């Protein structure tokens, strides 16, 4: 009947098989809404995630006709617009694992760069972890999408981590900084470009990198092959389609 469903805040986004008529989708949405009292809006996902900003289009099916919501995960809240800003609720566990691991490795006053940060879920989940442990750090949250940065700024205040996170709007490859970071997170878009050269520019000897790669494991290992990068481990970090994986590679700059 339906291919997939994502619950983002109080919005349900449903992807149907193509052959169902619109009226059927409306009726399905109506009953879905009746059954799930916490959901206020049902949208149909009408395109795949596309372009540099990784966005998709939707069609309104039932409830309140809106695209903006607040999503809660890992004791954090995120304002976002489901059509204008990338956000995947499926990455919640991954954000937890990454934040937990970094919070064990990190030293006081470390400098952290989160590239491709979207509405800032990685920086904020990490900042909350560090704040709870009493560890001070400076986290730069870099994102190209102007609207995502507006939400990011709101989210920093909403989660009371303004002493930790600074939002920088612009291309993550061209950040105007002389800073050399201790930790770099790259939850990068699933595009051909790997952005590997940028991490060497922002890092120094000993910098830890958390890099996302997509597809076959061998291909991902090949794209990070560089004599200045030592791979510490590679593990699955969720799927992007049936039997297609996102990988997390932890590396160190030599």
Ligand X SMILES: C[S@@+](CC[C@H](N)C(=O)[O-])C[C@H]1O[C@@H](n2cnc3c(N)ncnc32)[C@H](O)[C@@H]1O
14-22, 33-41, 57-65, 112-120 -> range binding ligand X (CB under 6 A): 112-120
Point out which residues pair with 143 in neighbouring strands: 169
**Pick from 167, 169, 147: which is nearest to 67 by CA?**
147
| Residues from 114 through 173 that contact ligand X (CB under 6 A) | 116-118, 121-122, 142-145, 148, 171-173
Q: Provide, rounded to whole angstroms, the least separation between the CB of residue 22 and ligand X.
A: 30
Q: Provide, rounded to whole angstroms, the least separation between the CB of residue 98 and ligand X.
A: 10
Q: Provide, rounded to whole angstroms, the least separation between the CB of residue 179 and ligand X.
A: 17
Give the DSSP H or E segment for 3.
strand 2-8
Nearer of residues 63 and 189 to ligand X, judged by Cβ: 189
Nearer of residues 168 and 231 to ligand X, judged by Cβ: 168
Give the DSSP H or E segment for 76.
strand 76-81
Nearer of residues 143 and 182 to ligand X, judged by Cβ: 143
Residue nearest to ligand X (CB): 118
Max distance between CA atoms of the chain, in angstroms, equals 59
Nearer of residues 174 and 230 to ligand X, judged by Cβ: 174
Contacts of residue 201, defined as CB under 8 A and 6 or more positions apart, other chains included, come to none
| Residues from 52 through 81 that contact ligand X (CB under 6 A) | 52-54
DSSP 3-state of 202: helix
DSSP 3-state of 232: strand
Q: Provide, rounded to whole angstroms, the least separation between the CB of residue 23 and ligand X.
A: 34
Measured in degrees and rounded to the nearest 5, phi and psi for residue 40 equal: -110, -20
Q: Provide, rounded to whole angstroms, the least separation between the CB of residue 116 and ligand X.
A: 3
| Residues from 2 through 21 that contact ligand X (CB under 6 A) | none
Give the DSSP H or E segment for 132.
helix 121-133
How many degrees, rounded to 5, is the angle at CA 10 between CA 65 and CA 143? Answer: 90
Nearer of residues 187 and 203 to ligand X, judged by Cβ: 187
176: exposed, middle or buried (Cβ count in 10 Å: 0-12, 13-18, 19+): exposed
Two structure tokens written together for 36: 């799930």
Nearer of residues 34 and 50 to ligand X, judged by Cβ: 50
**Cα separation of 159 and 136, whole Å?**
16
Q: Provide, rounded to whole angstroms, the least separation between the CB of residue 169 and ligand X.
A: 9
Q: Provide, rounded to whole angstroms, the least separation between the CB of residue 161 and ligand X.
A: 16
Nearer of residues 113 and 224 to ligand X, judged by Cβ: 113
| Residues from 190 through 249 that contact ligand X (CB under 6 A) | none
Where does this chain bind ligand X (CB under 6 A)?
A: 52-54, 86-88, 91, 116-118, 121-122, 142-145, 148, 171-173, 187, 189
């Amino acid at each position: 009947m339906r291919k997939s469903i994502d619950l983002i805040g109080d919005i349900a986004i449903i992807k149907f098989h193509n052959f169902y008529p619109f009226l059927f989708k409306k009726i399905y949405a109506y009953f879905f809404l009746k059954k799930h009292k916490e959901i206020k809006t049902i949208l149909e996902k009408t395109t795949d995630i596309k372009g540099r900003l990784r966005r998709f289009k939707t069609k309104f099916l039932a409830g309140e006709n809106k695209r903006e919501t607040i999503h809660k995960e890992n004791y954090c809240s995120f304002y976002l617009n489901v059509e204008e800003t990338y956000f995947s609720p499926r990455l919640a566990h991954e954000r937890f694992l990454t934040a937990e691991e970094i919070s064990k490795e990190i030293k006081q006053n470390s400098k952290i760069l989160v590239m491709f940060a979207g509405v800032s879920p990685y920086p904020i989940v990490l900042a909350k972890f560090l704040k709870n442990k009493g560890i001070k750090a400076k986290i730069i949250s870099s994102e190209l999408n102007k609207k995502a940065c507006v939400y990011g700024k709101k989210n920093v205040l909403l989660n009371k981590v303004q002493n930790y996170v600074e939002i920088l709007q612009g291309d993550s490859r061209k950040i105007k900084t002389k800073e050399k970071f201790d930790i770099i997170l790259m939850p990068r878009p699933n595009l051909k470009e790997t952005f590997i050269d940028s991490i060497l520019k922002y890092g120094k000897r000993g910098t830890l990198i958390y890099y996302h790669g997509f597809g076959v494991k061998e291909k991902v290992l090949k794209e990070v092959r560089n004599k200045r990068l030592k791979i510490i481990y590679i593990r699955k970090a969720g799927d992007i389609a049936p039997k297609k994986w996102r990988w997390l590679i932890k590396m160190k700059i030599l």
